[in-house]
Amino acid sequence: MVRSRRIALFIEDDNVANRLAVHILQPAGYQVERLNGEAELQARLQNDLPSALIVDDSLAPKTMRSLIKDFPTLPIVFYLKKAHSDAIIQRYQDGFQAVLTDQDDQVQALLAINRAVQRQEDWQRWFQFEQKRHAQSLEKRVADLERLHRIGGKISASLNLDHVLSEVVMAAVELTDAEEGNLMLLDKESGNLILRAAHSVGEQKTHILRVPIYDTLLGEVLRTQKAVILGGGELTKIQTAFLVRALIYVPLIMGEQSIGVLGIYNREREQAFSEYHQMLLEALADYAAIAIQNAHYYTANERERQKLHTILTNVRDGVLVLDEEQRILLINAACLQAFGLQEQYCLGKPIEQVISNQDLILMLKQSPSQWIKGGEIRLEDGRIWNCQLTPIADVGLAVTMHDITHLKELDRVKSEFVSAVSHDLRSPLTAILGYTELIGRVGPLNERQQEFVKRVQASVQGITTLISDLLDLGRIEAGLDARKELIDIRPLLRQSLESFTNFLNEKAQQLVVEISPSTPPVWGNPVRLQQMIANLVSNAIKYTPKGGKLGVRAWQEDGQLILQVWDTGVGIPPAEQPYIFDKFYRASNLPDDTSGTGLGLTIVKSIVEDHQGRIWVESTLGQGTTFTIVLPAAELGELPKPPA
């Protein structure tokens, strides 16, 4: 809708006002409004301005001056009742746009008014145009900054280095309206800058792929850490076969170090870049440096993670990692195969839901203090795995499983062989022993002969002990002592200890017995339990010097029987303690002539395990040794009634 032009009249004389309105203005299409009095005039000018204002000298000179000053774009025309050239000039000098007089004919008057109105309209158009131009430039800057912020966020969030680099270059070209952009990163090894990403709006392609940093503009930017703007017009050769008209290079700085250069170019266009463009580019370079650093760290981390994952997945041992709620965090191929599982159905699930192997589940249910022991599990296909459980802070638990089927098999074959051989040796040995005893009866022996016979007997005795130890071990390991009864361990202990009285007296050793009345009964094999106690006590006597002290303690704790045999003897070197339960192992700190087979503790351990118990040793060299056995207690109500 075109707004009609309105002319305001501040004319005192009605005739003049009428003439102007009816004969000149209205026929020319102007709307006319008459204003009476200064108050009405001021009020009118507070709203939108008329196209022109015509006043006569009824308006106070002071008001006239302030109108001209306050409304520079409002054309104010003065109506002079009497045409007088000095007066006309004076009015123009006062700043009126035009001066009408009673002498003017209608055409002249209209022309003057039209000119004034036209002038105002020109002003207004120019003014609006300028306003728009400024607003547009401001809007563009705001848009640029918003875009920069958006791109910054996007690239900071990206962890793929190549992606980050090409996003940065593309953003640089778009933000600065450049023809071309590229990003070069410093290769520390070669000392060259290497092109990592490029983007061009037109057909051209960046040819620089590798630039030495010395004696080049890029190198200078990198060294000085200062941006460079070249520009506008003349073609400049910055590299062989690389001519540009304008460019900006900004350094990419990480911490204190330059890591590369971001550049934009105009090759065809003569348009130069401004400091504003440089500012945008520098901001982008800051974002880029952070994003590159993040991406570097991430890539390095990811590579390490992958490497570790590949190793863990491909080792032949089973590896299982659980979180603190025993949900599966990692399960490797060997484990998946052993339990017949698929990875996607395992991850994140509680182990009990996924793995049905009860050996493993029971082991995991033990208290963490027992995890250290690990244990064996039997798989459905008959294989036996040795499991080690390692708590990992802030993660949970790592379970490593090693296939020991072949070792178990070897052990079984060896035990069978030893049992068979021992059995076959027993009869000839008994015969030898029998005949050595008969020798003296069939004729007198001299002293040396008696001495030799004694030695033969001692040796045969040694071999017999060894053989019966081996046979016992074979029986226990083969599970031939499965029959168990409810046993009150207290009388059993006392009975066993009594049989050592002579040995204790011989070595003048003191035995301290502390058997708590609360000592609970256990399910067990009385012969084997006695053998277990006897082996430990005889060791304590054997490995404690004359006059030393040793003891036995028994009590109840957490529904378990705790049994300790301690001494103040030679002790066991720390490095050898893990091996003393192995067959035939004897510690290195014993004098050469100490009698023994190295089978006693192996038998003890087998008995303990056959009774679902645990045994461990604590020992300080030269100070003494304590063996602790924990056996599950039987219910008190199950105690056998004393014979009637």
> Can you give the binding site for ligand ADP, defined by CB under 6 A?
539-540, 543, 567, 569-572, 580, 585-587, 590, 596-602, 625
Which amino acid does the sequence have at 153?
G
CA nearest to 542, candidates 534, 553, 531, 554: 534
Cβ at position 413, least distance to ligand ADP in Å: 22
123 or 585: CB nearest ligand ADP: 585
The C-alpha atoms of residue 414 and residue 228 are separated, in whole angstroms, by 83
332 or 619: CB nearest ligand ADP: 619
Cβ at position 450, least distance to ligand ADP in Å: 28
Q: What are phi and psi of 84, to 5 degrees?
A: -150, 125
CA nearest to 55, candidates 70, 69, 34: 34
385 or 566: CB nearest ligand ADP: 566
Cβ at position 475, least distance to ligand ADP in Å: 17
CA nearest to 299, candidates 191, 158, 151, 189: 158
The C-alpha atoms of residue 487 and residue 490 are separated, in whole angstroms, by 9
State the residue for tokens 């802030």. 394
Residue 529: how many CA atoms within 13 Å on its side-chain side? 28
148 or 554: CB nearest ligand ADP: 554
Compute the Cα dihedral for 597, 602, 608, 611 and give only its sign.
Answer: negative
285 or 604: CB nearest ligand ADP: 604
Compute the Cα dihedral for 568, 570, 575, 579 and give only its sign.
Answer: negative
374 or 598: CB nearest ligand ADP: 598
Cβ at position 601, least distance to ligand ADP in Å: 3
The C-alpha atoms of residue 443 and residue 409 are separated, in whole angstroms, by 52
DSSP codes of every residue in 508-573 = T-EEEEEE-TTPPPEEE-HHHHHHHHHHHHHHHHHTS-TT-EEEEEEEEETTEEEEEEEE-S----
Cβ at position 577, least distance to ligand ADP in Å: 9
Cβ at position 512, least distance to ligand ADP in Å: 15
Cβ at position 551, least distance to ligand ADP in Å: 12
Rounded CA Rg of the chain: 54
Cβ at position 322, least distance to ligand ADP in Å: 36
Q: Are 377 and 385 in contact (CB under 8 A)?
A: yes
Nearest 10 degrees: Cα torsion 100, 103, 107, 110: 10
152 or 571: CB nearest ligand ADP: 571
97 or 539: CB nearest ligand ADP: 539
318 or 548: CB nearest ligand ADP: 548
Cβ at position 411, least distance to ligand ADP in Å: 17
Alpha helices in 158-274 (DSSP H): 161-176, 217-224
Cβ at position 615, least distance to ligand ADP in Å: 12
Which of the 8 DSSP states describes residue 19? I
Cβ at position 617, least distance to ligand ADP in Å: 8
264 alpha-carbon distance from chain centroid: 37
Q: Are 52 and 31 in contact (CB under 8 A)?
A: no
396 or 598: CB nearest ligand ADP: 598
The C-alpha atoms of residue 619 and residue 572 are separated, in whole angstroms, by 6
339 or 543: CB nearest ligand ADP: 543
Q: Does residue 494 sit in helix, strand or coil?
A: helix
Tokens standing for residue 436:
């050595």
17 or 570: CB nearest ligand ADP: 570
Q: Are 412 and 422 in contact (CB under 8 A)?
A: no
Cβ at position 467, least distance to ligand ADP in Å: 14
